[in-house]
Structure 1
Amino acid sequence: MKPLFTLLALILIFPATASSTDLVRGKQDTVIIELNNNSKIVIITKSREDLASLENYDINQMVRDLNDQLSDSVEYMEIQDGKAYVNEDEVEMKDWKISDDEVRIKLGGVEVDVDPDEMDDWDEDDWGDRKKVTYEAERVDKTTHHFNIDIGLNNWLEDGSFPEGNSPYTVKSFGSWYVGLNSTNRTWVGGPLFLEWGVGISWYNWKLQDPDYIIEEGANEIEFNLAPAGQNGKKSKLTASYINVTVVPMFDFSKGRRKITSIESGGIRIKKYSRKGFRFGVGGYAGYRIGSHTKFKYKEDGDREKDKERDNFFLENFRYGIRAQIGWKGVELFANYDLNDVFSANRGPINADGENANLSAISFGITL
């Protein structure tokens, strides 16, 4: 295995009488650790990145070996074989590379790798012998990719406020779900600034407050009509799906640092990534409608019935708007606001003033 940490002079231990000239030689690549007993540990590396991977080495074992071999007559000692102190289990877990036969699943902050060949011999007893390593990733990759899910509630606003409760197109606050499946890239721009961009599919579900109203496409506009006598409404909703492109500049004050917990058992390896610190961002999105339908569930003569219709329902094909994201450690929240109307011009439902209502979609929730 190629070592992660290159030591030019692995560890030099000097007595208190060592000259300062010897200690500062090559000082630009040197770390000097003052010990309580007036001795010093000097670590010389090629780069700061090499120094960060020192955590892969068993320093305690180095010290034990030095204590065993060092005598009063020895003033200088150098360990030549640094590879002997590499913690192989930890290095393998951090640097595990997926092969052509393995399967990787990434969802939000969890990554699961499965080796089918090793899984054939795996059983639940092997889980008791699992290996677990927790460490922090300080290095920031230029661009990383992940898959996440937006889950929340959606509604629509009429001239900046929610429709009145007695309006036939008033949406039920709880139960009108918004779901988004997103393939997202995160590119480091510099300092705390990142750019999150990607594509995804989302679903609006507008569930009516009064389930006795049926959503229908009329001759000139979308209509919300009372169900025929004898039909006792249980659920009435309009669903629209979109394919979207999103770009959000993010300020991440932890500068991308993450806490990583890696667990391995047989052919299964699970990595959990936990972000650190506070982050927020505001950006935009644009989408194209790829489907829409209505669903009306009701009881008639004691029997449960369901009517489902697919059409465009005068919905705008394009949507665009503003997206805000805010996060703290492992929690990520989002809010979307469409700047255009849900329905085409002069095709919205008739409001109390006898005019076509201008309805804008809004959604908010949590990102997994």
Structure 2
Amino acid sequence: MKLLLSLLTVILILPATAANTDPVKASQDTVIIELNNNSKIVIITKSRADLAALENYDINQMVKDLNAQLSDSVEYMEIQDGKAYVNDDSEVEMKDWKINDDEVRIKLGGVEVDVDPDEMDDWDDNDWEDRKKVTYEADRVDKTTHHFNVDIGLNNWLENGSFPEGNSPYSIKSFGSWYVGLNSTNRTWIGGPLFLEWGLGINWYNWKLEDPDYIIQEGANEIEFNLAPATQSGQKSKLTASYINATVVPMFDFSRGRRKITSIESGGLKIKKYSRKGFRFGLGGYAGYRIGSHTKFVFKEDGNRDKDKESDNFFLENFRYGLRAQIGWKGVELFANFDLNDVFSSNRGPINTNGQNAHLTAMSFGITL
């Protein structure tokens, strides 16, 4: 039920100056409970169906919490987001949790985990069996939200708009050439279905050669892909580069930020899973700076497995920039990155079949968690 998505306000008015104000006017969706001549409980809902759903809530606990927090100097108070007053056997919406100073909160993609160490000390299997699980939809759109996500996919590079030929020394093996990005992302609502996703992250390109018998080396004037000695049998050869990255992507989200939320609470453990609804897409850009790079060559020699690893700049461009596309449907989010500048510095790329320095541009695609 979407009870808390409707307007539900419980107000306790104590004897004070508020007693001289006009009472809330009763209407079809307003219930006023007279406690005595000076105190009332006012319940406002959008429909009588929502009013009936109050049976699922522990009103006594609400009043106890109000009593505990009210002081002589407080004359008016509202119960805000932060506590769940749902009976154990109810399947209705829970409010967002407020995290205490001694709790630990972990957010990854669409999953949020809160752990209270003190309560977890006494946690056992029975707590999990008695867990409270609630699924509901959230229609509220915050101006700006923050989350941490992970890009996982594959990468390659293009030469003059197409993949290098299979017999090229620098031809890439797509499966196994992993792209990984760790992103701290903000999502700002502009208006209507338009959002702006922006943030910083660190990502890694891994270019794994199709032919593992080639060694990637820094030559005198350009990057070189040389055959390994005859005594060595190549098992894997790759070039890895890491970048710190800034990204800005305007997004059209036709569900306007609505989300499906599943909440699980068990003792000191609280888990929330967020799933977006509807269709969304966006196109933006990114710019990054290289913070590290290395090569790795794994081989067998005389029946023994060995590896060589070397760190250097390998004539890689320090700066990179390009276009990023994102598309999503409900809980699935896909991405694609296309660099607009070359992977290697000018006239430092590998020598191609025409005897010229190849212009290689990076690309990657995959899924965002």
- The 8 Å contact of residues 251 and 279 in structure 1, kept in 2 or not, is answered as yes
Q: 1:59 aligns with which of 38, 42, 53?
A: 53
Q: Which residue is 2:153 aligned to?
A: 152
Aligned length in residues: 311
| Partner SS for 1:125 | helix
Distance 1:167 1:198 in 2: 37
Task: Letter of the 1:249 partner, please give it.
Answer: P
How many Å separate the matches in 2 of 1:347 and 1:52? 68
Determine the structure 1 residue equivalent to 2:8. 5
Checking the alignment, whether the CA contact within 8 Å between 1:58 and 1:87 is kept in structure 2 is: no
Query: Any conservation in 2 of the 1:104–1:113 contact (CA below 8 Å)?
Result: yes
**Closer/same/farther in 2, CA of residues 198 and 51 from structure 1, 3 Å limit:** farther
The range that moved more, 119-128 or 329-338, is 119-128
> How many Å apart are 1:59 and its aligned residue?
2.8
Name the SS of the counterpart of 2:155 in structure 1.
Answer: strand
1:310: which partner in 2? 311
User: What CA distance in whole angstroms lies between the structure 1 residues aligned with 2:276 and 2:217?
Assistant: 46
- For 2:184 and 2:46, the matched residues in 1 are separated by 31
1:51 positional shift: 5.0
Check the 8 A contact 2:84/2:95 in 1, yes or no. Answer: no
Matched, 1:89 2:83: no
**Cα distance, 1:56 vs structure 2:** 8.0
Q: 1:61 offset after TM fit, Å?
A: 3.7
The DSSP-based 3-state class of the residue aligned with 2:231 is coil
Tell me the equivalent position of 1:122.
123
| 1:94 positional shift | 1.5
- 1:221 CA displacement: 0.2
Matching residue's letter, 1:88: Y
After TM superposition, what 4+ stretches of structure 1 lie above 3 angstroms from structure 2?
50-58, 90-93
Contact kept, 8 Å, 1:94 with 1:262, in 2: the verdict is no
Residue deviations 1:7-29 (CA, integer Å, cap 9, x gap): 69xxxxxxxxxxxxxxxx98xx9
| Residue of structure 1 in register with 2:249 after alignment | 248
Change in Cα spacing, 1:60 to 1:187, as seen in structure 2 (3 Å) is: closer
Question: Aligned residue for 1:164?
Answer: 165
SS in 2 for 1:99: coil
Q: Secondary structure at the match of 1:173?
A: coil
Counterpart Cα distance in 1 of 2:118 and 2:242: 39
> TM-score scaled to structure 2, two decimals?
0.80
* Whole-angstrom CA distance in 1 between matches of 2:192 and 2:150: 27
Q: Which residue of structure 2 aligns with residue 282 of structure 1?
A: 283
User: Using the alignment, how far apart are the partners of 2:179 and 2:345 within structure 1?
Assistant: 21
8 Å Cα contact 1:144/1:185 also seen in 2: yes
Q: How much identity, in percent, do the aligned residues show? A: 79
The letter for the 2-side match of 1:96 is W
Structure-2 separation of matches of 1:282 and 1:243: 20
1:229 corresponds in structure 2 to 230
Quick one: structure 1 residues 111 and 338, their matched pair in 2 at CA, closer, same or farther if it must change by over 3 Å?
A: same
Deviations 1:172-198 (A, max 9, x none): 011100000000000000000000000
How far is the alpha carbon of 1:263 from its aligned partner? 0.3
Paired residue secondary structure (2:129): helix
Q: Cα offset for 1:123?
A: 1.2
Residues 1:104 and 1:54: Cα distance change in structure 2 (over 3 Å): farther
Q: Secondary structure at the match of 1:126?
A: helix
1:76 maps to none
Q: Deviations over 1:27-61 (max 9, x none)?
A: xx96xxxxxxxxxxx2149xxxx757999865364
Q: Which runs of 5+ in 1 are unaligned?
A: 9-24, 31-41, 63-81
Deviation at 1:92, TM superposition (A): 9.4
Distance 1:56 1:323 in 2: 44
Q: Quick one: which amino acid aligns to residue 86 of structure 2?
A: D
Aligned to 2:29: 43
Give the structure 1 partner of residue 111 of structure 2.
110
Q: Which runs of 5+ in 2 are unaligned?
A: 1-6, 12-23, 32-43, 57-77
Q: Which amino acid aligns with 2:245?
A: N
- Corresponding residue number in structure 1 for 2:39: none
Q: Secondary structure at the match of 1:167?
A: coil
Distance in 2 (alpha carbons) for counterparts of 1:56 and 1:274:
24
Deviation string 1:177-222 (CA, Å, 9 cap, x unpaired) is 0000000000000000000000000000000000000000000000
TM-score by length of 1: 0.80
CA distance in structure 1 between the partners assigned to 2:268 and 2:294 by the alignment: 43
- 1:59 aligned partner, one-letter code: A
Whether the 8 Å contact between 1:293 and 1:309 is mirrored in structure 2 is yes
Cα distance in 1 between the residues matched to 2:294 and 2:311: 4
Query: Equivalent residue for 1:345?
Result: 346
Counterpart of 2:53 in structure 1: which amino acid? I
1:321 aligns with 2:322: yes
The 1:5/1:60 distance shift into structure 2, 3 A limit, reads closer
Q: Cα 1:102–1:298, aligned 2, differ >3 Å: closer, same or farther?
A: same
CA RMSD of aligned residues (A): 2.6
Q: How far did residue 93 of structure 1 move?
A: 4.0
Deviating more after overlay: 273-282 vs 50-59:
50-59
